[in-house]
C-alpha cells in the first residue's frame, strides 16, 4: 500500500543515517523489517484516524503508537527484552483504551488517586464480558490470544526459565541476529492481529469512515478467517 511503502522507505533511510543498519542491508533483513513495519504502522495509524475521542480514550491510542514506533529500531539493534516490554505495553494499552473509553469517571479517579487503578486481570475480565466481544471471542479468541501473549512476554522479561535469560554481560553481547529478528516479526504479527481485531470490533462505527487505504491496511494485518468474523460472515 502506497502510504505504508513510502513510510517504510523513509524509516529505512533514517535507520541508515543513524547507522543502525548498513547502507546496503541484506535482502532478508529488509524483508523482515518490512513486515515488522507493516504491523507497527497499522498500530500507529489509530491515533491519527480516531481524533474525536476525549482524553480518556485518546491517551492510550497515543501510548500504543509510542510503543509501536520504537520496536523496529530496537529490534535491529538486537534488544530482545526491550521488544518484549514494548509489545507488552501495546497489549496493556489496548485493554486500557477499551476499558477507559467506557469508564470516563474511573479514568478521572485513576489520574487523581495514586493507588487506584484496575489490574490487568480485571481489564481482561472486563473485555471478556464486553458485549462487543462475547460472540466474536467464540469464533476468534482475540482476548485469549492477547492474554497468552502477555503471559509469555512476562515470562521472557522476568526470565522464569534459564532459556529466557539474555545473559548480556557487556555491550558487545548486544547484537543483531537475523533468526531472532524473524522470531520477533512472527510474535509481533500475532500480537498486532489480535490487537487490531479488538480495536476494529470496538470502533466498528468509526472504522467505516476511515480512508479506504488505511482501513484496508489495518484489516490486512488480520487473517482472512478472523476478518470474516469481523464482517459477520461466520
pLDDT of residue 174: 80
Q: Would you tell me how many other CB atoms lie within 10 Å of the CB of residue 126?
A: 17
pLDDT of residue 164: 52
Residue 78 has pLDDT above 70, yes or no: yes
Q: What average pLDDT does this structure show over 74-79?
A: 96
pLDDT of residue 171: 64
Digit-coded pLDDT (tens) for 156-204: 887 665 555 555 666 677 889 999 999 999 999 999 999 999 999 999 9
- The model's pTM is 0.92
Amino acid at each position: 500500500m502506497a502510504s505504508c511503502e513510502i513510510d517504510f522507505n523513509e524509516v529505512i533511510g533514517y535507520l541508515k543515517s543513524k547507522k543502525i543498519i548498513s547502507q546496503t542491508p541484506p535482502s532478508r533483513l529488509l524483508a523482515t523489517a518490512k513486515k515488522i513495519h507493516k504491523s507497527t504502522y497499522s498500530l500507529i495509524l489509530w491515533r491519527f484516524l480516531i481524533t474525536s475521542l476525549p482524553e480518556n480514550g485518546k491517551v492510550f491510542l497515543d501510548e500504543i503508537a509510542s510503543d509501536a514506533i520504537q520496536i523496529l529500531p530496537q529490534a535491529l539493534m538486537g534488544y530482545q527484552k526491550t521488544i518484549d516490554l514494548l509489545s507488552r505495553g501495546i497489549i496493556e494499552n489496548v485493554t486500557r483504551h477499551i476499558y477507559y473509553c467506557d469508564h470516563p469517571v474511573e479514568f478521572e479517579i485513576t489520574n487523581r488517586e495514586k493507588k487506584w487503578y484496575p489490574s490487568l486481570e480485571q481489564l481482561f475480565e472486563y473485555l471478556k464480558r464486553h458485549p462487543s466481544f462475547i460472540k466474536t471471542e467464540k469464533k476468534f479468541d482475540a482476548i485469549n490470544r492477547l492474554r497468552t501473549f502477555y503471559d509469555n512476554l512476562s515470562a521472557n522479561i522476568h526470565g522464569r526459565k534459564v532459556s529466557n535469560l539474555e545473559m548480556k554481560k557487556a555491550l558487545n553481547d548486544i547484537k543483531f541476529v537475523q533468526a531472532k529478528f524473524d522470531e520477533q516479526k512472527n510474535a509481533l504479527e500475532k500480537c498486532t492481529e489480535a490487537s487490531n481485531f479488538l480495536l476494529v470490533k470496538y470502533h466498528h462505527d468509526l472504522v467505516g469512515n476511515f480512508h479506504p487505504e488505511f482501513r484496508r491496511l489495518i484489516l490486512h494485518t488480520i487473517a482472512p478467517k478472523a476478518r470474516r468474523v469481523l464482517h459477520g460472515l461466520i
